Structure 1
Amino acid sequence: MSFQIDQGLFKFDFIDNHAILGVPISADSKEVRKRYLKIARRLHPDSLTTNSDAVKHQATQLLSKLVNPAYEKLSKDQDLAEYMLLLKLKGQYAAQQQAQNNLQSEAAKSLMTAGNLDHAYTTALKELAEKQYETPDKIMAIIGQLSELNLAYLMRKEGTSGSAAGRPIATSSAPPAPAATAKPGSAPPKAAPAAAKAAPEPAHESVAEQYCRRAEGFMAKKNYAKAILELRDALQVEPNSSRIHSLLGMVYFQQNQVTMARIHFDQALKYNPQDETALKGKRAIDQKTGGGKKEKEKKSGGGLFGLFGGKKK
């Protein structure tokens, strides 16, 4: 059975585990487990006694190759932290690439211009999730539609290309207002104030920001070597940028270079203690390394006594 999906986040070489389970991106561990158990029961052979052997085989494949791995990824704190960092990157990259122009489902297209983003997202997702695993030949299509919803939501939340985060992204521009004409014998219209003649030109993107955007593109494609080169060039321009350091931390974290990642996350927080990416990165590192150290200390007898072979008194 083919599990090829070419919609939403899957188009960016990313396995959308939230779409596979039909849960929102903000779902907590309790919600994820509840949904997983519901799907597992639906795909269990005991629930398919009246179905053909082909359908039973398909259900088994779905459970073992899609549903179980998705649940495992979203239920482990360490895996989830890394996964959510990548998810954030994908949303930013998709917004930069104006991926909203490639959305196929009407639900995702509508979400790009919805006023109440969170409500529209959860409502549309719930409608799709209710029928996600009901009809075998529509399962993959619905997962694709769910992933498009997630992609649209991320672009609205994480997008930085021309729109404020969460603001509806315009799909067409309004026609220009007709020019005012003077009636015969009337005074000519007054010239509009200079400030009202034209909107201020958008600020030009800095050289460092251009490096960062290129680096994010390479990161989304998992080309970490080129991403590092771009970010190092960016540091030459703005050595005290928390954004650049936090991006470098993410690149090193993705390559399991925890020490280097920690250094850059610390630098980012030095320049901006509220840097969200750096804070998430530090938490991910702590989850990855902190638990193991504590266990070793306990088993060794604790502290310096355990290190040098002494006994606790």
Structure 2
Amino acid sequence: MPKHKAAPAVPSPPAKDRPRVLTRRNALRGAAGLLAGGGLALTLTTPVGTGTADSQVVAGHRRAGQPVDRGRLTWGEDEERQTGWLFVPDPAEWSGGEAQPEHPVVVMFHGGSWHDESDPSYLADIAQDLARYGLAVWVPTYRGLDGPGGWPATFQDVSDAIEFVPELADQGRFRPDLSQVHLLGHSAGGHLATWAAGRDKLPPGAPGADATVNARSVTSMAGLYDLVLAENLDGGDLVRSLMGGVTPEDDPQRYDLASPIDRLPLEIPINALHGLADDVIPVEAVQGFLDELRATGNPGIVELLPGVGHGDWSDVFGWPWARARLALLDCVGGP
């Protein structure tokens, strides 16, 4: 998984009883055959409708005003890595005459293969786009690989950045609606956002298990959800690095805690969108998660987009972002 441009062990539950590595390798081969036969998109795609980046109304949410950049905030002790950008809706359009208007919040996690040098600037356009629809958008950074991150630091940072949402009020000059916190992520950020959506299911002592700010939905663009499977694919050394250098055989409980597939089902919508032309995280790598979403009846949408590659989601004028934005806004409460 290439990097984006401009862009102590914890107490663990018993490992899952179901077979893992061999079973998922076989499932991967089966998915690859199905993809080659052209049947995958027909069986797994659930359309979320049409739309373009300049749509004036999306899922009942009007577009108005210009987003306001409230600057960079530091939410942790590491002033270089534990920071974030905050965009809020235009007060002239969205304040309703209040000095501190209430807004839903989207917490957006960037990709970059979990690397320490990655940053969210390549997502700035879509963050500002969401603010035009009346949402405050918090875009935190996190400690990553080739730095002080990895297991468990990266995961704890993601959790702590979500827990910081109430603190956005002062600098953001708004009241965060804590009943309307939605997670959004791309690539490695899609993995982290989907993982964070299941923090309330983690056992005591796991990173993120002490969550008090709970997500209302999660939307993942080109994410990764099964670290056991990913560790056995090309590029699995990156997953092993994220997990502190251990394999699933070395520490199955750690992989269980870090894999979104092992938290299903959730009681909130999971919108999983993936490009059929993604050659960084091929659709075969997420097939099992998509199947599990459907099998468990987890709310949300699954959509596989023909011709869409791994880096296409950050184009604010592109139809992949229009699809993801619609899925997200459809989960947000009344405008």
**If the TM-score is normalised by the length of the shorter chain, which range does it land in?**
under 0.3
The alignment's TM-score, normalised by the length of structure 1, stands at 0.26
Q: Which has the higher strand share?
A: 2
The alignment's TM-score, normalised by the length of structure 2, stands at 0.25
Q: Which has the higher helix share?
A: 1
* Structure possessing the higher radius of gyration over alpha carbons: 1
